[in-house]
Amino acid sequence: MASLVPCPHCGQRPKEEFTIKGAALTRPAAGAEAADWFDYVYLRDNPRGAYEEYWHHTSGCRRWIVVTRDTVTHDVAASRDAADRARSEART
Partner 1 sequence: MSDFRPILRPALATKKAVASAALKLSPLPEGTILHVLARSGEQDIVPLLDSLAKPAAHAVRPVSPGQWFIVHEEPMHHKEMKSLFAALEPRATGVDQSHGRVRIRIEGKMASRALSKGTAVDLDPSAFPIGQSAVTLIGHIAAHLTRVAPEAFEIIVLRGFAESLWDDLARMSLEYI
Question: Given the complex with partner 1, which of 5 and 69 has the nearer CB atom?
Answer: 5
Q: Are 50 and 23 in contact (CB under 8 A)?
A: no
Site for partner 1 in 13-32 (CB under 8 A): 13-14, 16-17
Q: Are 5 and 15 in contact (CB under 8 A)?
A: yes
74 binds partner 1 (CB under 8 A): no
Q: Are 52 and 67 in contact (CB under 8 A)?
A: yes
81 binds partner 1 (CB under 8 A): yes
Quick check: helix, strand or coil at residue 76? strand
Binding track over 32-61 against partner 1, x by CB under 8 A:
--------------------------xxxx
